[in-house]
Structure 1
């Protein structure tokens, strides 16, 4: 199974750090955020990775190279303009092939065991969900009996973690350009084609200076 890391965001809330450094190369405890993913994916048995990039993307290629020093092979999908999550994945599909692939947001920090993503996919997607963080209290989706559905006001919701397994068939009706992933997932949910799991371990959406500091504290506690 191949894995794709989403690394095309500008990281505007992390300015000034991201004015001259792409968000995935912002460091926590001296290590770029994306490097934690590469090492964890390699340890989980993933050997072929695809990384998309836009803002200052050449820096990502210069730092990671072909991936050999991390024990993986990296193919890059460069975007002249950010294509949002759905459009970025769609553009990278020729690099990902026709089999289900793991998807990881480049701006999260987690100890989720990526080997768990190397599973057969019954529908069009499998999502890893987490408890709603304070900055996203409303959540995204509901999980019941292993199936994910769109969140309703009367139901207990969870937040999409930025980790998933997707089938290329999810994008069968798409056209090149910028578009979001969520509408595709919601359509697949309505058809009963999205499974899921709840993860209760370490997970931080590193979108602000405060959350980056949280990751620094977590890493310091481990050392």
Structure 2
């Protein structure tokens, strides 16, 4: 199974850190955020990794190289202009092949064990969901009996963690360009083609200086 790290965002809320450094290379505990993912994926047995990038993306390639020092092989999908989550994955599909693959947002920090995703996929996708953080209390989706559905006001919701297994067929009919992933997921949910799990370990969406400081604290304490 291959994996993909989404690393094309500008990280505008982390300025001035991201004016000259791509967000995935912003450091916590002296380690670039993306390196935590690369090492965790390698430890989980992944050997082929795709990384997309746009803003200052050459710095990511220069830092990670071909991945050999981490025990895996890295190839890159350079976008120039960001294509959003759906468009970025769609552009990288020729590098990912015809089988289900893991996708991880480059701007999260977590102790999730990616080895748990190395199992057969039923349907078009499998999402890892987490408790709603303070900055996103409305949540994204519902999880019932292992199936994910769109959020409803009268039921408890969970937040999409930015970790998933996706089947290339989820993107059937898509066209090149910028588009979001969520509408594709919701369409597949309506057909009961998206499974899920609730992860209760450590997870932070590193979108602000305050949340980056929280990751720094956790890394130092570890």
TM-score of the two chains, using structure 2 as the length reference:
1.00
Cα offsets for 1:14-36 (capped at 9, x unmatched)? 00000000000000000000000
Partner residue of 1:45? 45
Aligned-residue offset at 1:221: 1.4
Measured after TM superposition, the shift of residue 219 of structure 1 is 1.0
Aligned-partner SS, 2:89: helix
**Counterpart residue number, 2:114:** 114
Cα distance in 2 for residues equivalent to 1:206 and 1:182: 20
State how far apart, in whole Å, the 1-side matches of 2:8 and 2:221 are. 30
Query: Which structure 2 residue ranges, 5 or more long, are not aligned?
Result: none
The answer for the alignment partner of 1:13 in structure 2 is 13
Q: CA deviation at 1:8?
A: 0.1
Rounded to whole Å, the distance in 1 between the matches of 2:53 and 2:189 is 28
- SS of residue in 2 equivalent to 1:180: coil
Q: CA separation in 1, counterparts of 2:198 and 2:89?
A: 24
For the residues of structure 2 that align with 1:176 and 1:220, how far apart are their CA atoms? Answer: 42
Deviation, structure 1 residue 178: 0.2
Which residue matches 2:92?
A: 92
**Which structure 1 residue ranges, 5 or more long, are not aligned?**
none
Distance in 1 (alpha carbons) for counterparts of 2:218 and 2:95: 34
Deviations for 1:80-114, whole angstroms, at most 9, x for unmatched residues? 11000000000000000000000000010000000
How far has the Cα of 1:134 moved from its partner? 0.2
What CA RMSD, in Å, does the superposition of the two structures yield over aligned residues?
0.4
TM-score normalised by structure 1 residue count = 0.99
**Paired residue for 1:218?**
218
**Correspondence for 1:79:** 79
State how far apart, in whole Å, the 2-side matches of 1:86 and 1:219 are.
31
**Cα distance in 1 between the residues matched to 2:71 and 2:24:** 19
SS in 2 for 1:42: helix
